[in-house]
Amino acid sequence: AQSVAQPEDQVKVAEGNPLTVKCTYSVSGNPYLFWYVQYPNRGLQFLLKYITGDNLVKGSYGFEAEFNKSQTSFHLKKPSALVSDSALYFCAVRWGGGGNKLTFGTGTQLKVEL
Amino acid sequence: GAVVSQHPSRVICKSGTSVKIECRSLDFQATTMFWYRQFPKQSLMLMATSNEGSKATYEQGVEKDKFLINHASLTLSTLTVTSAHPEDSSFYICSARDGAGEVQPQHFGDGTRLSIL
């Protein structure tokens, strides 16, 4: 079975500083990895995905993520955080044997402070 | 980009009422839609996968007679919470997948906050 771990419930950074939100995964076979962001009382917005190819994936709003197969990680990064980036971030994995289903991590609350 | 519209955004009703939530893909056809439930400060729990023109596939532990899903067209899926009780209060979110072939992301609606009194 596939699983996703987001080890940090909350991440705090100062505006202008780089941010990292961690994600590790466990699947059989090749993973398809996604990051989503959720603002209060809203659905999830797609940020980026890794399917194949370059390990560094660039997405919306200046976010990027690096796929690391040996460490089974897919950490989300941004070089310079904004207060408006404060939200709940979810990592998700889809695997070839699971059809279209996504398995989500538990989410990481990002707080960017002035 | 792909837009999914979910309606209503909030429902408050008495115990025993049945509530219908609609999920529409506005600018693409979705052969598959998904229904999730999210408890406060928790992740999304997949309830069921809705396939156009066929019966929904429910996850283990989800009562199919309680949560009725109809996916009658390529742009509309509905979730009906039948005879809702306070423990059904939650945030329900739908998503839809656009296209086949290369792995496409799911696009999410804005969710429905259901409160049963």
Q: What pLDDT, on a 0 to 100 scale, did the predictor assign at position B100?
A: 60
CB B47 within 8 A of CB B57: no
Q: What pLDDT, on a 0 to 100 scale, did the predictor assign at position A42?
A: 87
- How many contacts, defined by CB atoms under 8 Å, are there between A and B? 52
Q: What pLDDT, on a 0 to 100 scale, did the predictor assign at position A76?
A: 98
Q: Between A43, A49, A99, which is nearest B105 by CB?
A: A49
How far does the CA of residue A107 sit from the closest CA of chain B (Å)?
6
Instruction: Find which of B7, B98, B103 to mutate to test the A interface (most A CBs within 10 Å of its CB).
Output: B103
pLDDT in tens, A48-63: 999 988 999 999 999 9
Q: pLDDT of chain B along its 117 residues, tens only?
A: 688 999 999 999 999 999 999 999 998 888 889 999 998 878 899 999 988 888 899 999 999 999 999 988 889 999 999 999 999 999 999 999 876 655 778 899 999 999 999
pLDDT in tens, A69-111: 999 999 999 999 999 999 999 999 986 665 678 899 999 999 9
Decide if pLDDT at A41 tops 90: no
Question: Whole-angstrom Cα distance, residue A4 to residue A93?
Answer: 7
Contacts of B51 in chain A (CB under 8 A): none
Question: Whole-angstrom Cα distance, residue B113 to residue A41?
Answer: 8
Q: Between B6, B95, B103, which is nearest A51 by CB?
A: B103
Contacts of B26 in chain A (CB under 8 A): none
Find the mean pLDDT for residues A20-25: 97
Q: What pLDDT, on a 0 to 100 scale, did the predictor assign at position A97?
A: 60
How far does the CA of residue B83 sit from the closest CA of chain A (Å)?
24
B48-51, long-range: CB < 8 A, 24+ apart: B49/A99, B49/A100, B49/A101, B50/B77
Phi, psi (degrees; rounded to nearest 5) at A52:
-165, 170
A53 Cβ neighbours under 8 A, 6+ residues apart: none
B43 with A106: Cβ contact below 8 A: yes
Q: Between A34, A41, A104, which is nearest B44 by CB?
A: A104
Contacts of A99 in chain B (CB under 8 A): 49
Residue at token pair 């070839």: A96
